[in-house]
Chains A and B, each alone.
Chain A
Amino acid sequence: MNLMTLLEMAAESMAGRVALQCGAARLTCAGLFAGAGRAAQRIRAAQVSQVALLDVASPALPLALFGAAWAGVPFAPLNYRLSGAELGALLERISPALLITDSGRAAQLAQRPGLQVLPRDEFIAHASASGTPGAAEAAGAPGDWSMQPEDPAVLLFTSGTTGAPKAAVLRHRHLVSYILGTVEFMSAAEEEANLVSVPPYHVAGVAALLSSLYAGRRIVQLAEFGASAWLDCAESESISHAFLVPTMLARIADELAATGRVVPPTLRALAYGGGRMPLPVIERAMRLFPPTASFTNAYGLTETSSTLSVLGPEEHRAALAGGDAMARQRLASVGRPLPGIEVQVRGPGGEVLPPGERGEIHVRGEQVSGEYLDGNSRLQADGWFPTRDGGYLDSAGYLFVEGRMDDIIVRGGENLSPGEIEAVLHEHEAVSDCAVVGVPDEEWGEAVAAVVALETGRSASARELQTHVRARLRSSRVPTSVHFVDELPYSETGKLLRRQIRDFLAAPPEAQPEPASTAPAAGEAAPTDSAPAEAPEAAAAPPPAPGRAGRRRFRALLGMALLAAALLAAWFAFSRF
């Protein structure tokens, strides 16, 4: 069982179909197969334990992925945005390795111990035999690869938004199971094309390559995402399918609204995932895209070989049609598990919770790896994988994901889900984006802090947003402080960088770029005023950009009323988180 089996089938049945296109470069299925053979020869000659790719999307991605699979060496696509020190730490963990990268980086890293560095263009030229006469004959013999299902195929460094990146190990059996379980071989019509704009180091980038190849759908790589460039490419390449992370979809919606451009009618299937998708954002996108485009929400993790559950086009249409409150509510879900996936929500003691109750999402299935490069595995003996995502199932089996368990705010013994509070803030018409995090609090352990970006031209006071939350949720969930910023920090792959927000909020008040506004939650003591903090410009380094200044910072009083509130919170502390 090897990824090469998938490529070999495509090469035999769809030899002349274009498998991949990047700018002017094209690789047919047969060309990719032959190229992978030549790449495998080069990889074998290097005698390394890993093949790494440090680059934007290019034909080097499929050539290195399949070349490595053919040579029996794991493939590790790396984040090209990492700083020198972060990158150095990752390279150390995968050495000895053959590193394929752009020529500038190749020169910088050439002397690094444990690394053999190969410039990308040289690698592609070698694999496509364009620069080496006779290289075609040097290719490996077809079938000359290991069929051990246990062999590691891909190492993916998880985004590490909550700590040092971990390298998830995906074995051939995980990825092959995922493809066989979700894609029908050669099911795509010849004109179909999938626009891939997620970077190669994202699990969706790897999965898109495998899924499209197996379906027979042409992959069109967009090396650098931009809303305008994405629309240009969708038009010029008659794109039929695409995957976007939520921030990308939001930017395309902004572009459509601002310019009046339209999405080409060829686009039939738009999938999104990889991060939280606020309800107003997807609803706006659906209104701005033509009805010919159907939407699919995909939920998955790096450790699960991509998608675990999908909310399909029918459910999206039902939600947009209106009239059915349940259908609209389900638009906030990630749909139902794939046929080969089991999902359970469990409580802190490991007990399986009934529908409607919040806990940690556990998944099981052939595609689920759950193990890491350092030999650690989070996979339990019976095959269940604790995702560290919190959420719940509804009575019809729709899964709602509310965020990482690590982000749960423990306030006075009560567990609060940031996702629940964020969803409510998002419903306020002036809010364009928001994040809720826990900040250290002497009285409560943690207090709820909201960071909010407002829609252009709209205004809302902290108190107004607090009132908005208070009208919809229990008082313990009302943010004690609301901070206004121009935009929230996201990783390139659309993950909200909560750690940066927490660091920003943890900075001493005088070091913050803008004064915060605080007001008491219901049931707490009345505030006293304190002087607005002045913000030196130099401290504006954290990504939440300086926002509306001049709001006042309050500090909640202690005293009997607080004690009463603490007792009340303890009383209410039956919610799972």
Chain B
Amino acid sequence: MQLKAGDRLKSAVCQTQVMVIAAPAGDVELCCGGAPLLSLDAEAQGGAPDPGHSGGTLIGKRYVSADGNLELLCTRPGEGSLSVGAAPLAVKEAKALPSSD
């Protein structure tokens, strides 16, 4: 699917929802729980996450592809885990900063 910053997507097989922060041009095979993500208003067919992609998502975490071109924000957590094709996305580790405002 084509992605752009600001897009909101949901998992077809769990409660996960994400917002696209950054995306590469062209097609991205973005999945959660092993099944392609859907747009927020699409009808989910149900089902369960693939056992190979069931690490779960955490709200507020940012998920990035290995090359760093794709970045998502998890806006609702779920049982599936995010991947591009079979390659899992990693949690972007943020340096803890002192509160500044």
Chain A residues engaging chain B, CB cutoff 8 angstroms:
1-2, 5, 8-9, 12-13, 143, 147-149, 172-173, 180-186, 194, 204, 207-208, 211, 214-215, 217, 241, 243, 269, 271, 273, 294, 296, 298, 300, 306-307, 310, 312-313, 338-339
Contacts and interface: CB of A to CB of B under 8 A. Distances in A.
Interface in B66-89: 73, 75-76
B6 A147 contact: yes
Interface stretch (B26-34, B46-54, B90-98): B90-98
Nearest to B73: A180
B101 A306 contact: yes
Given A217-B99, A298-B101, A339-B97, 7 more contacts: A8-B75, A143-B8, A148-B6, A180-B21, A204-B101, A306-B100, A338-B97
Contacts of A307: 100-101
B75 A271 contact: no
Question: What 7 A-B pairs have minimum CB-CB distances, sorted nearest first?
Answer: A185-B60, A298-B100, A1-B6, A147-B6, A296-B98, A207-B101, A307-B100
B6 A184 contact: no
Nearest to B58: A185
Nearest to A298: B100
B43 to A, nearest CB: 15
A339 B98 CA distance: 12
Given A1-B19, A9-B60, A184-B60, A313 B96 contact: no
15 contacts: A1-B21, A9-B60, A9-B76, A13-B60, A147-B8, A147-B19, A186-B60, A204-B101, A214-B60, A271-B98, A300-B100, A306-B101, A307-B100, A338-B97, A339-B94
B5 interface: yes
B63 to A, nearest CB: 12
A191 to B, nearest CB: 15
Contacts of B5: 1, 149, 173
A312 B62 CA distance: 24
Given A148-B6, A180-B21, A243 B100 contact: yes
Contact of A186 (B6, B59, B95): B59
Interface residues of B, number: 22
Contact of B97 (A1, A182, A273, A300): A182
Nearest to B97: A182
A144 B97 CA distance: 33
B7 A182 contact: no
Contacts of A147: 6-8, 19
A294 B95 CA distance: 18
A1 B8 CA distance: 8
Contacts, number: 87
B62 A180 contact: yes
Nearest to A12: B76
A307 B97 CA distance: 11
A185 B73 CA distance: 11
A60 B62 CA distance: 31
Contact of B100 (A8, A180, A214, A310): A310
Nearest to A206: B101
Interface of B: 5-8, 19, 21, 40, 59-62, 73, 75-76, 94-101
A194 B99 contact: yes
B42 to A, nearest CB: 13
Nearest to A217: B99
A551 B100 CA distance: 44
A378 B76 CA distance: 37
A276 B72 CA distance: 37
A263 B8 CA distance: 45
Contacts of B96: 184
A241 B99 contact: yes
B6 A9 contact: no
B3 to A, nearest CB: 12
Contacts of A181: 94
B6 A182 contact: no
A300 B6 CA distance: 25
A180 B5 CA distance: 14
B98 A312 contact: yes
A295 B10 CA distance: 41
A168 to B, nearest CB: 16
A269 B60 contact: no
A185 B100 contact: no
B21 to A, nearest CB: 7
Nearest to A192: B99
Nearest to B19: A5
B99 A185 contact: no
Nearest to B40: A143
Contacts of A207: 101
Nearest to A198: B101
Contacts of A339: 94-95, 97
B5 to A, nearest CB: 5
A208 B99 CA distance: 9
A169 B75 CA distance: 26
B94 A310 contact: no
B52 to A, nearest CB: 27
Nearest to B75: A9
